[in-house]
Amino acid sequence: MVYRMWIVLAAALAAAVPAAAQNFPVRPVRFIVPFAPGGNTDVQGRLIALKLSERWGQQVVVDNRAGAGGTLGVEMLAKAPADGYTIALASFGNILVGPSLFPKLPYDPMKDLAPVVLVSQPPGLLVVNPGLPVKTVADLIAYGKANPGKLNYGSAGTGTWNHLFAEHFKALAGIPMTHVPYKGANPAVTDVIGGQIQLAFAPFPAAVPHIKSGRLRVLGVTSAQRSPVMPEVPTVAESGLAGYSAASWFAVLAPAKTPSPLIQKINADANRVLALPEVRAAFAADGTEPVGGTPEQLRESMRSGIEQWGRLVRDLGVKL
């Protein structure tokens, strides 16, 4: 049923594209990925690029432009010609958090960029060292209140999604936790396993193998609903912290003033790509599902996300 809904949506979007854009593209398309090769942003970007290349009969060239927390690549997108031939896979940090985190962000996500399609909203996993005497989120909160100063959590760095997910948790739960930033999620997970820190909000690929081996204990998934990848794991809200919900964010964007017919064309084809069984299977391995939808829905997701996470960044007083 879900697969059929994807096909119907993609067909309807394609029918809405004016004839003038139907021949797009007639030359290679540049697809900026604002991070180094090998990460989950790059993996999703390369898969989408491959499937769009097959659909269009034109090469979609992945251009990795790492730097400045992912904002360098988005700045390049904002300054690119608005002709549909430059798009980017933007993310949580450089769109939803960037305006509040970077004092001199060289672009305004809502003014300088055109939304194309929401790609995915991956949740994280709240994991703890198995030696910690907790089995649920409620247990963790009770432990934190009874043992102030004994909970240290790791993240991939200040301002990253796992840092902010943990601070969101800390604020709602009302427990003291000390932030230990690392240069990536994997080193943080390694130190949870080793007992140097007690917990982390980790991406699925970094945590799942260790959960299965018993080297990590998972307490909950951060999203509002359980993950179809690990349906046996309760949400953080179910496990003891009502009202908690957090997810990361990936979306395809174009430069502002890109003609609407081209936006609609790219959106329709991207929705068809996201509906492919092999794409859905690849995303599942990363603990998420493709989202899709319209540019208008993505614009609202950007607006609400910037408001939600910007408020938390300002409350924390974090600046980079």
Q: Domain residue spans in the chain? A: 2-122+248-316, 125-239
Task: Give residue-wise pLDDT tens across range 173-192.
Answer: 999 999 999 988 999 999 99
Check residue 319 and give its pLDDT: 75
- Please give the share of the chain, as a percent, with pLDDT higher than 70: 94
Check residue 200 and give its pLDDT: 98
Question: Does position 69 have pLDDT exceeding 90, yes or no?
Answer: no
Do strands 199-202 and 29-33 pair parallel, antiparallel, or not at all (unpaired)? unpaired
Question: Does position 1 have pLDDT exceeding 90, yes or no?
Answer: no
Asked whether the whole model's pTM tops 0.85, one would answer yes
2-122+248-316 has CATH 3.40.190.150 classification: yes
Q: pLDDT-derived band of residue 294, with 50, 70 and 90 as boundaries?
A: very high
Check residue 309 and give its pLDDT: 94
For tokens 């996201």, the residue is 274
Check residue 277 and give its pLDDT: 96
CATH topology of domain 125-239: D-Maltodextrin-Binding Protein; domain 2 (3.40.190)
Q: pLDDT-derived band of residue 300, with 50, 70 and 90 as boundaries?
A: very high
Check residue 317 and give its pLDDT: 85
Check residue 22 and give its pLDDT: 79
Rounded mean pLDDT of the chain?
A: 93
**Is the fold of 2-122+248-316 the same as that of 125-239?**
yes
Check residue 144 and give its pLDDT: 97
| Arithmetic mean of pLDDT, 152-157 | 95
